[in-house]
Structure 1
Amino acid sequence: MRRKCPECGGEKFDQGTDHMPIRPMNKKFSMKALQKIYTFCLGCGEIVSTKVENPTKLNN
């Protein structure tokens, strides 16, 4: 099944990140910081998915 953008109906996507890593809420000074991965439509820029890279690292 092909993904379609809910905003414009586009079918071309790419992924990117930003400079704000995710850190565990209960450990403000934790060295475990994970990048967010955004999947966005190349047609209109709508972000269709956000996920955390390597979420199992937060369990340790």
Structure 2
Amino acid sequence: MKVNHVKECPRCEGTDFAEGTDFMAIKPLNKKLSAGSLKIYRFCLSCGEVVSIRVENPGKFRSW
């Protein structure tokens, strides 16, 4: 599945976006000692509206 990036902010119609993280890892529920993976936020530079959130390393959540 191909990701379709938002080209216009749904809140203010801005077109400039940036990505960042809060450095709080998301962790698997069944692996309490896992390092997990960072959440990456894509947000509008005009109003701050978050238009997407993704996990940096989704492979860390696969059960082995």
| 1:2 to partner: Cα distance | 6.2
Q: Is 1:40 matched up with 2:38?
A: no
- d(CA) in 1 for partners of 2:38, 2:12: 27
Match of 2:60 in 1: 57
Paired residues, what number? 59
The offset of 1:19, in angstroms, is: 2.1
* Cα deviation code 1:6-52 (max 9, x no counterpart): 11000100000012101001112223x10000000000000000000
Asked if residue 22 in structure 1 is aligned to residue 40 in structure 2, the reply is no
SS at 1:15 equivalent: strand
Q: Give 4+ residue runs of structure 1 displaced > 6 Å after superposition.
A: none
% identical equivalent positions: 53
Deviation, 1:57, is 2.3
**C-alpha RMSD of matched pairs (Å):** 1.7
- The TM-score with structure 1 as length reference comes to 0.86
Which segments of 5 or more consecutive residues in structure 2 lack a partner in the other structure? Answer: none
